[in-house]
Chains A and B, each alone.
Chain A
Amino acid sequence: MNTLIVRTAIKILTPLFLIFSVYLLFRGHNEPGGGFIGGLIAAMPLTFHAMIYGARETKKMFKINTMVLIALGLLISASSGLVSIFEGQPFMSSLWADFYLPIFGKPGTPIMFDIGVYILVVGIVLRITLNLSEE
């Protein structure tokens, strides 16, 4: 896999993949997209990197601890459900802040959940591919 064409292509495509994955993540609430598909797409350039340079190189270059990603993602998602309990509503009720952020829109618990899923999916896909390609 380690050819000039692939190496050059992945260098150009990596930022595109990442930007597109974040776009899908934020688009997900009312339109097709969301944390899961976003996470998968974000994991793609890293998977390509591992295919080209080998899993060890990828680990060295990106310094990612996949287990921390998985745990962090789960923690964010699970905590997003807790917010509503402290407001006296059932677990996972959707709550939104009453102010707007530029570009981002109205922050709320659903996007927090989706961000958690995004991180979790990146973590799991990377853990699987890196472990398998290390064999």
Chain B
Amino acid sequence: MMGVLVILPLLIPLFAAIFCLLSWKNINGQRMIVLAGSFLLLVGSAFLLREVWLHGIQVMQIGNWPAPFGITLVADLLSAGLLLTTSLLGIFVFIFSIPNINLERKEYGFYPILMFLLFGISGALLAGDIFNLYVWFEVMLMSSFVLLSLGGTKNQLEGSVKYLVINFLASSIFLAGIGVIYGLTGSLNMAQISLLLPEIADKGLVTLAAIFFLVGFGIKAGLFPLFFWLPAAYHTPPSAITAIIGGLLTKVGVYVLVRFFTLIFFSEVPYLQPYLFVIAGLTMFVGVFGAIAQNDFRKILSFSIISQIGYMIMGLAIHTPLAIAAVVYFIIHNMLVKTNLFLISGVVYAAAGSFKLKKLGSIYAKFPFIAFLFIISAFSLTGVPPLSGFWAKFLLIKAAVASNYFIIVGVALVVSALSIIYITKIWNEVFWKKAPDGEGSEKIFYNQTSFLRLNRLLILPVVLLTIIIVAMGFYAEPFLDFSVQAAEQLFNRDNYIKVILRK
């Protein structure tokens, strides 16, 4: 029965989705199924992480075909850690979605698609084979496309068409990269490729493949020149959908870049490093300036995703174990914080009926508790000590200083300071200033207690996520320890290859 834990994070959402389809007309039934499914997924990925932590990398060879020939599922610390974060966010977003998603969207299959999305993300995190990874990305792309366009409002369709077209382009570039790799090594198994690639004589083609993957996943992660689809699409659907897509999908792109550049293209890093630094710096700057310029709560947050992705790529470019550890911590921190901020924007929408900064206001005066929840996540995002964002940025900058990359340190610090501007902007416009007269539906709720009682399912996941974010900052040591171990495992390629190929 070894390795069953590895397949559980795939089977649980798949079967939950199937049972949801079977009870297509019964929305309450679907809700119970998704509740059970996301809870089991959380338990399953927690056990998987425990197993990986205690006994090292876990492998399952699908169909009992040995490694380089069959499909391999691999769970190491990085993928198991991200899987646990994903399933945690899955259950929170599910709770949030009960009141947040309207009945029409639920009747058109919100719940099964949510499960298929988690299925795709789990698959992408566990795939040990590049073609299989491509398939999981398609599963993710399809389900996220349906989620983004579900409901079919004009804005949503406009955003999701951009999303779909640009992501298809990214997928085809990724597929071209797979083709080059397969042509060079004759293998699709990541461990086997990692073993064979250093022996390839034609280094130019290896670099070409690396650039194909960098561009393909760069688009999916929202890197500098090709990020424009992200803010165009992410602010259109209901908040629960924005939260799960904005919180998770771009980070899966970063995860794959980390995986590829530590396992497969490690020899290409010195050559690509200057480009990666330039991309990272520009991504940070463009993201932060874009965020400052926007006048919509969720558009600001969408641009801020881009700026945060820049930090992760900076860590990838430094490429020391400490820097990769910082990236691991940063990804987990960012998944939690960004999802939470999007959820809070949904709570504000429920309270005041708008996402437009112009129409919002007085949230602090009327609902100080929401403002309090926001400010914790916002401080964590900008990196105020001792919250989680501080440790993430501190580790990154420590790693950069240790390797003498002072320019990028300067850029990171300046961008970090600039990010205070957009947070202040949200704070001023949404929470602090007096609400404009006669706008929105905020007059329904005269006091905070009645609002909180009526919307407890919206508040509960935000509160729980905030507690986790605070814990990740104040009690950072186990998380940091985990990130360092995960990074060490990523750099210990021989062990990874040995476990998978049984050599």
Residues of A within 8 A of B (CB): 67-68, 70-72, 74-75, 78, 82, 84-85, 88-94
Interface string of B223-245 (1 = CB under 8 A from A): 00000000000000000000000
B21–A91 touching, CB < 8 Å: no
B22–A68 touching, CB < 8 Å: yes
Q: Does B476 contact A (CB under 8 A)?
A: no
Report Cα–Cα, A58/B385, bound state, in Å.
65
CB nearest neighbor in A for B109: A67
Q: Which of A70, A71, A90 meets B62, CB within 8 Å? A: A90
Q: Does B18 contact A (CB under 8 A)?
A: yes
Q: Does B1 contact A (CB under 8 A)?
A: yes
CB nearest neighbor in B for A66: B24
In this complex, the member of B1, B15, B18 whose beta carbon has the largest number of chain A beta carbons within 10 angstroms is: B18
Interface residues of B in 473-488 (CB under 8 A from A): none
A91–B63 touching, CB < 8 Å: yes
Q: Which of B15, B24, B60 meets A91, CB within 8 Å? A: B60
Report Cα–Cα, A91/B64, bound state, in Å.
8
Contacts of A85 in B (CB 8 A): 1, 4, 7
A93 in contact with B14 given A74-B21, A75-B22, A85-B4 (CB within 8 Å)? no
A74 in contact with B63 given A67-B24, A85-B7 (CB within 8 Å)? no
Q: Does B440 contact A (CB under 8 A)?
A: no
Q: A67-B24, A85-B7, A89-B64 are in contact. List 15 more A-B contacts (CB 8 A).
A: A68-B24, A70-B21, A71-B19, A71-B22, A72-B22, A75-B15, A78-B14, A78-B18, A84-B64, A90-B3, A90-B64, A91-B7, A91-B11, A91-B62, A93-B63
CB nearest neighbor in B for A88: B1
A92 in contact with B63 given A78-B11, A78-B14, A85-B4 (CB within 8 Å)? yes
Counting from the closest, the 7 A-B pairs by CB-CB distance are A71-B21, A93-B64, A71-B22, A92-B63, A67-B24, A91-B7, A74-B18
Q: Which of A74, A90, A94 meets B61, CB within 8 Å? A: A90
Interface string of B1-32 (1 = CB under 8 A from A): 10110010001001101110110100000000
Smallest CB separation, B356 vs chain A (Å) = 35
Smallest CB separation, B141 vs chain A (Å) = 18
CB nearest neighbor in B for A89: B64
B15–A78 touching, CB < 8 Å: yes
Report Cα–Cα, A94/B65, bound state, in Å.
10
In this complex, the member of A84, A89, A92 whose beta carbon has the largest number of chain B beta carbons within 10 angstroms is: A92
Contacts of B1 in A (CB 8 A): 85, 88
A82–B18 touching, CB < 8 Å: no
A71–B18 touching, CB < 8 Å: yes
Smallest CB separation, B368 vs chain A (Å) = 46
Sample (7) of A-B pairs whose CB atoms are under 8 Å apart: A71-B22, A74-B21, A75-B18, A78-B11, A78-B18, A91-B63, A92-B63
A90–B24 touching, CB < 8 Å: no
Contacts of B7 in A (CB 8 A): 85, 90-91
In this complex, the member of B4, B14, B24, B63 whose beta carbon has the largest number of chain A beta carbons within 10 angstroms is: B63
Report Cα–Cα, A94/B18, bound state, in Å.
22
A67–B3 touching, CB < 8 Å: no
Contacts of A82 in B (CB 8 A): 11
Interface residues of B in 115-135 (CB under 8 A from A): none
B63–A94 touching, CB < 8 Å: yes
CB nearest neighbor in B for A85: B4
